[in-house]
A and B are shown apart, each in its own frame.
Chain A
Amino acid sequence: EAGVTQFPSHSVIEKGQTVTLRCDPISGHDNLYWYRRVMGKEIKFLLHFVKESKQDESGMPNNRFLAERTGGTYSTLKVQPAELEDSGVYFCASSRLRGYEQFFGPGTRLTVL
């Protein structure tokens, strides 16, 4: 069974540009989560999808971040326009059922210059 995959592994962009991160969850996992770790701090929750619906987006920092999960399969997280403080590692996780183990992807390291 393939694990959670994320693309790209690294992204370096300039302030003001747009970046789109992609996450492919484990097949059959309805629950998809986005987290990020900024500047070596704790990993913070961003949002949670159940299939294509946003279940909880309480962690989204501001309206420059837009997450989608079309068709309930893969998800994208767009940052537009990117700011310096958006630099960090963005993790995606998926689980089959709510409250069960969340399987994490390798993360996307985003650097905003």
Chain B
Amino acid sequence: GEDVEQSLFLSVREGDSSVINCTYTDSSSTYLYWYKQEPGAGLQLLTYIFSNMDMKQDQRLTVLLNKKDKHLSLRIADTQTGDSAIYFCAEMGDTDKLIFGTGTRLQVFP
């Protein structure tokens, strides 16, 4: 079945790197996504990776995909207080509905 898992919390110091991990089960997923939700706001698409890629970098964000282990990670370099939010990974398979994880709450402290 389809299932996406994430750790619930991550706390990092400002300026350090954050790594948020995600595991998924649907090997037919074509796209994997990272969404960010700030308080009171909707889900904002941060980045995505196509399933035939291993890595994608976009400014401070690096996405790593290990298809063999069905493991996805999001690294945020030089984490800032404005990065504090809930981060959701999601997969999209043959249908275009998104399957989300539980979300990881990132807290950045000075």
Contact = CB atoms under 8 A, between A and B. Distances in A.
Interface stretch (B10-18, B59-67, B75-83, B95-103): B95-103
A28 B84 CA distance: 33
Majority-rule SS of B interface residues: strand
B96 A31 contact: yes
Contacts of A102: 45, 96, 98
A93 B97 CA distance: 11
Given A4-B42, A104-B42, A104-B43, A33 B97 contact: yes
A1 interface: no
A85 B92 CA distance: 27
Interface stretch (A11-19, A39-47, A65-73, A75-83): A39-47
B84 to A, nearest CB: 17
